[in-house]
Amino acid sequence: MIQTSEPEASSADTGDLDALIRRIDPDRWLSSRFVGALEARADVVAIYAFDNELARAPKAASNALLAEMRLTWWREAVGEIFEGRPVRHHPAAQALAQAVERRGLARADLETLIDARYRELDPEPMGEADILDWARDTGGMAAQLAAQVLDPRTEAKMALAGGSAWALGKRLAANPELRPTFLKVIHAARSASRTLSVAAFPAIAHAALAGRPSTNDFARRLRLTIAVARGRI
């Protein structure tokens, strides 16, 4: 039987997931700064750390089989969280377990994030329907989970479009042909964002940076601040 080895935790070995997300996922890290409650912020960062670990699987592995093994490792970790077994000693897994316990996150939603990464292992290019599903089940689902953490009373599914737009925006530099699809999604996200509560809005604030040329840190912070103040991306 093939044993799945533990994915490298990189600088997360220090236990400082916040610093790791600041380095590898600066857009979502910046949006999390608008979460005032430190425990809620930590739970949102845990979701982003989990999503980033899954995103690394197709990129860090040298072949599809090894990538599948990494994804299997994380599926087993999710199983430990929900089945009351000891959770493996990986900073992202431990932080995710705390978020699940505190917020009642659904196992099916976390497994959706895992399943979406298998699409990246297929050598066939994704069509528009495929890429929309991928964006919804990666950045979109992460945003929905974050919105649920920030305000359990809000309609968290309204964060899907904002998270999807952000995920598509990250692919535009390498895949400029996706711009028409991105524009449709960001338009839907702007409409949906108006229905989220003030507390939940940071779950999608980073969509305000999607599809825009890279700017300096001050300009990015300013754009996010304006988006949060207006409650619109």
User: 68 and 118 in contact (C-beta within 8 Å)?
Assistant: yes
* CATH superfamily assigned to domain 14-230: Farnesyl Diphosphate Synthase (1.10.600.10)
Q: Which amino acid, residue 188?
A: A
Sequence-separated (6 or more) residues with CB below 8 Å from residue 76? 4, 88
Q: Which helix (H) or strand (E) holds 35?
A: none
pLDDT interval class at 1 (50, 70, 90): very low
Mean of the per-residue pLDDT values for the chain?
92
pLDDT tens column, 6-34: 665 543 443 599 999 999 999 999 999 99
Residue among 162, 161, 157 at smallest CA distance from 144? 157
pLDDT at residue 7, rounded to an integer: 63
Q: What is the dihedral of CA 107, 28, 91, 133, to 10 degrees?
A: 30
Domain boundary assignment for the chain: 14-230
pLDDT tens column, 160-190: 999 999 999 999 989 999 999 999 999 999 9
pLDDT at residue 90, rounded to an integer: 96
Residue among 207, 211, 181 at smallest CA distance from 196? 207
pLDDT at residue 8, rounded to an integer: 54
Mean pLDDT within 207-213: 91
pLDDT at residue 10, rounded to an integer: 42
Question: What's the CA gap between 32 and 17, in Å, rounded?
Answer: 13
Mean pLDDT within 192-216: 93
Comparison of pLDDT for 87 and 123, the residue scoring more: 87
Instruction: Report the Cα 5 to chain-centroid distance in Å.
Output: 23
pLDDT at residue 6, rounded to an integer: 60
Mean pLDDT within 81-90: 96
pLDDT at residue 196, rounded to an integer: 96
Statement: residue 136 has pLDDT above 60: yes
Q: Which amino acid, residue 145?
A: L
Lowest-confidence region among 59-63, 77-81, 109-113, 208-212: 59-63
User: 11 and 20 in contact (C-beta within 8 Å)?
Assistant: yes
Q: How many residues does the chain have?
A: 233
Mean pLDDT within 82-101: 97
pLDDT at residue 60, rounded to an integer: 73
Statement: residue 214 has pLDDT above 90: no
Q: What are phi and psi of 8, to 5 degrees?
A: -65, 140
Question: What's the CA gap between 162 and 136, in Å, rounded?
Answer: 9
| In the chain, % of residues over pLDDT 90 | 84
Sequence-separated (6 or more) residues with CB below 8 Å from residue 59? none
Helices 64-82 and 107-118: angle between axes, nearest 10 degrees: 180
Spell out where 56-175 has E strands. Answer: none
